[in-house]
């Protein structure tokens, strides 16, 4: 009797407190490509043809999503989505795994595995090492920060600016 009680107690404990991969977010598909919801921030709204919402729960790669959002673009062949790991391997020479990702100066905190960017959206990739920060030079923690600059209006204007510097003041006598 004691064995049955202990077994049932262990069974119910693992059932209720076991690790489960649930998310309250829907699965986001853009032209049949699974993306994180954060990725939609970097897609031009005028390029969207239609949106279809499915209210059925979906399991993808062992993760339960609360529904689906299927987005179709006007030109599906225009987009070439790549993951953050692919950006790291193609645009940088970083070999370490300790990396912090940023897009246009904003940190990517969630959904790093499913976060993807359009290859055509990337303007420039900047790399900063933790040793460049004065307060972190003596620290044992070493990491790299990858800042991905997208083709936004501000970034394109800053890229095309030409600064003229000289040692003489113009118009001063």
pLDDT one-digit tens code per residue, 104-148: 888 888 778 888 888 888 888 988 887 777 777 777 778 888 899
Residues 75 and 137 in one domain: no
pLDDT one-digit tens code per residue, 90-113: 888 888 778 889 998 888 887 788
- At residue 44, the pLDDT reads 85
The answer to the question of residue 3 being in a domain is: no
Report d(CA 73, CA 71) in Å as an integer. Answer: 7
Tokens of 42: 């970097």
Residues 157 and 86 in one domain: yes
Q: Tell me, yes or no, if the pTM score tops 0.75.
A: no
Residues 96 and 46 in one domain: no
81-84-139 Cα angle (round to 5): 170
Residues 135 and 87 in one domain: yes
Out of 35, 60, 79, a domain closes at 79
Report d(CA 30, CA 58) in Å as an integer. Answer: 16
């Amino acid at each position: 009797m004691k064995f049955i009680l202990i077994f049932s107690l262990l069974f119910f404990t693992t059932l209720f407190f076991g690790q489960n991969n649930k998310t309250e977010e829907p699965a986001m598909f853009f032209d049949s490509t699974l993306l994180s919801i954060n990725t939609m921030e970097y897609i031009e709204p005028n390029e969207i043809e239609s949106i279809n919402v499915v209210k059925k729960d979906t399991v993808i790669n062992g993760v339960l999503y609360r529904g689906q959002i299927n987005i179709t673009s006007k030109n599906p062949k225009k987009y070439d989505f790549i993951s953050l790991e692919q950006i790291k391997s193609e645009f940088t020479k970083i070999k370490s795994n300790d990396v912090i990702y940023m897009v246009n100066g904003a940190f990517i905190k969630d959904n790093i595995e499913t976060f993807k960017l359009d290859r055509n959206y990337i303007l420039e990739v900047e790399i900063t090492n933790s040793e460049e920060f004065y307060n972190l030079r003596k620290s044992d923690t070493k990491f790299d920060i990858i800042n991905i600059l997208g083709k936004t209006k501000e970034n394109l204007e800053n890229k095309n600016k030409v600064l003229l510097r000289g040692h003489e003041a113009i118009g001063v006598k």
